Amino acid sequence: MLNEADTRVKLIDPKLHESGWTERMIEREKVIAKGMIINESGDRLPVRKPDYILYYPDKDGILLAVIEAEAEDKSHLAGMQQAKEYMERLNVPFAYSTNGHKIEEYDDFHQTQRTLEKFPSPEDLWKRYVEGKELKEVFKEEGEKNPLLYPYYPFPDKPIRYYQEVAVRNAIEAILRGQKKVLLTMATGSGKTYVAFQIVWKLYKSRKNRRVLYLVDRIFLRRQAHDAFYPFGNAREELVGSERIPKHRDIYFATYQTLYSEKDGKRVYELFKPNFFDMIIIDECHRSGWKRWHDILRHFSGAIHLGLTATPKRDDNIDTYAYFGEPVYDYPMRVGIEDGYLAPCEIFRIFTNIDKAGVLNITEVKSQGAKIEVPEGVELKEYYTLEEFEREITLPDRTKRICEHLARILESTGPKGKTAIFCVSQSHAAEIAKELNNHFGPLFKVRNYAVRVVTDEPYAHDILKEFRDSEKDFPVVTTTVDLLSTGVDIPPVRNIVFLKPVDSKVVFHQIIGRGARIDENSGKFTFRIIDYTNATRLFDEWDLPKDGKQYEGPSDWYLSCKVIDAETGMGIPKASVVAIPAPSKPITVRTDDNGSLLLKDMPRGSIKIDVTARGYKRKETSVPTFPAPDKSVAISLEREIREKRRLIKAENIEVYIAEEGIVKANVLGNELLEAEYIEYCK
């Protein structure tokens, strides 16, 4: 009997070829998910890769089916469940399981399963696909180009990911069926602009939609989208004002503010005929919704309206879904983390005594010696709530204490880790930047450790450009109100800090999305949410990996690792390592003279460990296990630097950290199940 590898080569491949599947139509063991990141070093769980993916008319075309192969002596049914899981993830209608003799087919159009002697031909599967998708009438015309089958634009550094392909396919199919309003819901960092480009590319090259308007609400988003569409070359046009309105381009990029401005007694959008555009793309449509875009979309009502959003349906964006309807595809943050395309997060949740109380009693703090300054014409209230801090009443002592605490977190986690701080107001943002500059400026001998990036800042876009650059150490921190809350791409951000109250789940998702991108250039694989205002109560099931449990199965893999000095890279001998292959079953070992260790009979996937060494900071983390002992992972420890503790100085109002907690979700060695995670944040 043949093993699985030989079964593929000697039995399954010939059957595919006999049915007309050429090598240009077959992809073997294609990695569709890179594996969830399990620690700050970027180590991952095993990848996901179907045994076979079948395309039509070739690999540049459309996915039709997945095949799971089994060894010759196994049942042909054995791989069906795995095939169905890949089928669902790839959103293809046909799944096959085979041992090289019998073939089991699952047809998702009809939810039926049958046993076959041979594979269907490519033409047969394509015909069934077209009928099942109700596209038969669309492709009746002879010689008509099919955008579904037109090749994707081949970005050399950005091969299309499986979920992006599904999003493009679902959107185009909806458009081909005559749907005029199409919505895609995809987590921040998953590549919405990339998906929009590929949709436009395939339709444009198939001569289905020749004129497109890409609509945003911020100038830097307009520039970002324009740059992303560079393969269109001179067919692009940025509308930057009302003075010059060219009509000879194909792909236009504009802010709604520009289109709503006036020229010769008309709104700029009214200078275009209602049928000028074939498609309107509304980026970040959840933020403004139907009310904001109403007049522009109504003017171009005959065009296809494609909405892009990063947030699922919520009470505060219900108008978006009422207008577009249900999304044709959604890719939540949770799945992005599971797939290894988005960074998991660590949560620091902190309350000062004032914030924990939820209210500031003016009479009480006065009796304790607080000095209250009231501007002329302003009425002093008896109580001020968290939502009014830095809006109606400024609390310098609170600001100073929070900044001191934040500085300690940054010092312990890496003071050069890019950090975005969301503040209440522009003046609040300026105060936070000042405090952090006073703390870190002398340490690094730089003028701009922290910078304010707000709409009133004349050089905001230049500052933002430097902050986004992974190669530049400074500025480290940006303080903002909402300029960075959505759309802007800042992969190296490691810390998201909430210093302003947030009540909207939509806004919350926009903000945490700034940290969700992975940046391999700077070695950023995880991020932190540092929450001083209880914003993390807004987490929900859309954000979290489904399962925090360790792998349950055979314990026949190896843990091979080397404990090293983070600065020198040298091995640390006699380091104590506590491995936890199963609950309540820790194993304690020490590294050898080179800092290495090897354990066998470990669970497949990953294992939690606790590492300590004299003179180094303790580290809890998760590391991958391997099927053979020849692969190893490095665990770096930072030297313990004992500094003189700073004394707290209270002025006027007593402010202190009343409560602090750290939650590590599916990363850094601590795993939290969904219900526990949400409950913690309430």
pLDDT tens for each residue of 653-662: 888 888 887 7
Fold match between domain 162-331 and domain 345-544+666-680: yes
CATH homologous superfamily of 162-331 equals: P-loop containing nucleotide triphosphate hydrolases (3.40.50.300)
Closest alpha carbon to 176 in 130, 128, 210: 130
What is the tens place of the pLDDT at every residue in 173-206?
999 999 999 999 999 889 999 999 999 999 999 9
Residue the block writes with tokens 């968290």: 386
Q: So what's the pLDDT on residue 623?
A: 86
Average of per-residue pLDDT across 423-451 = 95
Find residue 54's DSSP bridge partners: 26, 65
The model's confidence at residue 548, banded by pLDDT at 50, 70 and 90, is very low
Annotated domain spans of the chain:
4-132, 162-331, 345-544+666-680, 557-637
Quick one: 644 exposed, middle or buried, by C-beta within 10 A (0-12, 13-18, 19+)? exposed
- pLDDT band, residue 584 (cuts 50/70/90): very low
User: If pLDDT is split at 50, 70 and 90, which confidence band does 470 have?
Assistant: confident
Q: Is the dihedral of CA 478, 479, 483, 485 positive or negative?
A: positive
Q: How confident is the model at residue 675 (pLDDT cuts 50, 70, 90)?
A: very low
The pLDDT mean for the chain works out to: 87
- DSSP class of residue 420 equals E
Whether the per-residue pLDDT at 666 is higher than 70: the answer is: no
Q: With contact defined as beta carbons under 8 Å apart, do 228 and 193 qualify?
A: yes
| Comparison of pLDDT for 468 and 86, the residue scoring more | 86
3-class secondary structure per residue, 609-657: EEEECCCECCEEEEEECECCCCCCEEEEECECCCCCCCCCCCECECCCE
Q: What is the mean pLDDT of residues 666-677?
A: 42
Q: Average pLDDT for residues 303-324, to the nearest whole number?
A: 78
Confidence of residue 543 (pLDDT cuts 50, 70, 90): low
What average pLDDT does this structure show over 482-508?
Answer: 81
Burial of residue 275 (CB within 10 Å: 0-12, 13-18, 19+) is exposed
CATH label, 557-637, candidates 3.40.309.10, 3.40.50.2000, 3.30.420.10, 2.60.40.1120: 2.60.40.1120
Among residues of the chain, what percentage have pLDDT more than 90? 56
Q: Give the per-residue pLDDT at 549.
A: 41
- Statement: residue 667 has pLDDT above 80: no
Mean pLDDT of 439-465: 85
The per-residue pLDDT for 458 is 67
Please give the Cα distance from 116 to 122 (Å, whole number).
Answer: 15
Q: How far apart are CA 613 and CA 69, in angstroms?
A: 47
pLDDT tens string 91-100: 999 999 999 9
CATH topology of domain 4-132: tt1808, chain A (3.90.1570)
| Closest to 56 measured CA to CA, from 95, 24, 83, 33 | 24
Cα-Cα-Cα-Cα dihedral sign, residues 382, 387, 391, 396: positive
What is residue 164's predicted lDDT score, i.e. its pLDDT? 98
Between 252 and 289, name the one with better pLDDT: 252
pLDDT band at 643 (very low <50, low <70, confident <90, very high): very low
411 or 265, higher pLDDT: 411
The pLDDT of residue 407 is above 50: yes
Beta carbons within 8 Å of 310's beta carbon, 6+ residues apart = 185, 186, 187, 188, 192, 284, 286, 486, 509, 510, 513
Tokens of 608: 């939690």
Q: Is 304 exposed, middle or buried (0-12, 13-18, 19+ CB in 10 A)?
A: buried
Q: What angle do CA 384, 390, 391 make, to 5 degrees?
A: 75
Q: Picking from 232-246, 604-618, 666-680, which range would have the lowest pLDDT averaged per residue? A: 666-680
Task: Answer with the residue of higher pLDDT: 551 or 339.
Answer: 339
In angstroms, the CA 212 to CA 390 distance is 43
Condensed to tens digits (0 to 9), the pLDDT of residues 154-169 reads 999 899 999 999 999 9
Average pLDDT value for residue range 246-252: 94
State the pLDDT at residue 354: 93
pLDDT for 618: 80
Length of the chain (residues) = 682
**Exposure of 222 in the CB half-sphere (CA atoms within 13 A):** 22
Does residue 550 register a pLDDT over 70? no
CATH of domain 345-544+666-680: 3.40.50.300
pTM: 0.80
